[in-house]
Amino acid sequence: MGFFNKQGIGETKSETITSVIGADMQLVGDISFKGKLRLDGKAEGNIRGEYLILGETGMISGDIVVSTFVCSGRVEGTVNVQKLYVVKSGFIEGKVETMDLAVESGAVLNGEIKSRSQELRLVPGAASQEEDWEARMKEAASASQGKKKAAALK
């Protein structure tokens, strides 16, 4: 899960999960919580709280309003958060509004994305492997063409 640090996305040593909704649970109705909630089951309804982790088996059908949201599962609805991390197994369909967005290669975002941030910024080291591969291929092609020209001049 960690593509930002060794501990995991947005996690620090002092943070602990305060509530867990297991993979075998299905909730219908609104959920309001404090602290850190891990949801591995299914929820139909709106979710409000502080820090939400949606596991790979987790599914939410409804609106989400939290400070930080780490999405490894499936969401259908509106997501309104300060920080959103979507990992490669994550799937969000609907409207997303956030100040800080990170999407891992392989994740799916279908819908409207609105950034509340005033400025765009580059994150060092965040280039995808595909971009790195394309750059290496261009360098190799340039080197190959240079060798062909040198051989033609001989």
What are the tens digits of pLDDT across the range 31-40?
999 999 999 9
44-96: pLDDT as tens digits: 999 999 999 999 999 999 999 999 999 999 999 999 999 999 999 999 999 99
Residues 106 and 145 in one domain: no
Q: Which pLDDT belongs to residue 115?
A: 86
Please tell me whether the overall predicted TM-score, pTM, comes out greater than 0.95 for this model: no
Q: Which pLDDT belongs to residue 138?
A: 67
Residues 41 and 68 in one domain: yes
Residues 5 and 81 in one domain: yes
Q: Are 41 and 58 in contact (CB under 8 A)?
A: yes
Q: How many domains does the chain have?
A: 2
Residue 30 and residue 48: Cα distance in Å, rounded? 8
Task: Note down the domain range covering 82.
Answer: 1-117
Residues 25 and 76 in one domain: yes
H or E stretch at 140? helix 129-153
Residues 82 and 132 in one domain: no
Residues 83 and 134 in one domain: no
